Amino acid sequence: MDRTGMAIPILVTDNAMLADPSLLSGLESVHAEDEPALDFAHRMVAQGRADACVAGAVYTTADVLRSALRNIGLAPNVRVASSAFYMVVTPGTGLAEVLTFTDCAVVPYPTAENLADIALAAAHDRQLIVGDEPRVALLSFSTHGSAKGPSVDVVREAVAIIRERAPDLAVDGELQGDAALAPSVAARKSPSSPVAGRANVLVFPSLDAGNIAYKLVQRVGGVQALGPILQGFAHPVADLSRGADREDIINVAAIAALQSAG
C-alpha cells in the first residue's frame, strides 16, 4: 500500500536501469523486456494482474488510447471511448461541489450514438468516483426547441437513445448551460425538467465546446480540473498530461482506483 493508503503502485518499465532502483525504494516493479511498457501494463490490467493503468507522462494521449483499445478494449455495449474532467467548484457558488464535463479530450464530432455512449459512461463513472446520483444534461445553444439546427437534432436524438437504454437515469436535453445549472433560469425555460437547474453531468455537443468550456472555467473561474479521465473501457485506463506533476499523478491514480472499485 502506498503512503496515501489508496492503492498498491506497480511501476512498469522497459528500461532495466529503472527496475532495480525502484525495488530499492520499496516500489514493486515489472520490467517489460521485449515490448513497450505501455502495452505490457495495459495487458496486465486486461488479465487481472492489475486493477487500473495510469500512463501518459511520457506517452501521447493517442498512444495511450491506441494501446488501451488494442489490449483492453471497450466495455460491453460501448461503441466509443471518451473522457471527462471532474471540475471541483469553489464553495458558495450554489452549484454541485463537483461537475462532470464530458467529452473534452477525445471525440471531435460525436454522433447521436456517440453522445449517448459518452453520457452513459460519464454517469456510470460519476457514481463510482463522486458517489452521488448523476443528473445528466445534454447541452446545446437551444433549450427544448428554442432554436433549431443540425447539432440540436443530434442532441435530441441522443437523449432519446439514452432514455431507451437507461430509463432510470435522470437525463434531459437539449438544454442551454444556464438552464442546466441555474434553478431560477430552469424555472423559466424548463420547469418540468428532471435535471434542469441541478445538473451535475454536462455533456457537450462537440469537442470544440467541451474543451473550450473546461479551460475557460478552469482559468477564469478558478475551478480545479481533474482529468482527463478516460471512460468507456472494459477496465480503468487513465491518461496523464505529459506535463503532469506529482499531485496530478496522485489525483488521477486515486480516481482510477475508485473506477476499479466498481
Instruction: Residue 196: name the closest of 219, 215, 178 by CA.
Output: 178
- Predicted pLDDT of residue 5: 67
Q: Provide the β-strand partners of residue 170.
A: 135
- Predicted pLDDT of residue 27: 67
- Predicted pLDDT of residue 23: 55
Classify each residue of 155-192 as buried b or exposed e, where b means 16 or more C-beta atoms within 10 Å of its C-beta.
bbebbebbeeebeebbbbbbbbbebbbbeebbeebbee
- Predicted pLDDT of residue 188: 95
- Predicted pLDDT of residue 1: 46
Residues of the chain with pLDDT under 50: 1
pLDDT tens digits, residue range 231-253? Answer: 999 999 998 877 778 888 888 88
- Predicted pLDDT of residue 16: 66
- For the whole model, what pTM was predicted? 0.88
- Predicted pLDDT of residue 94: 75
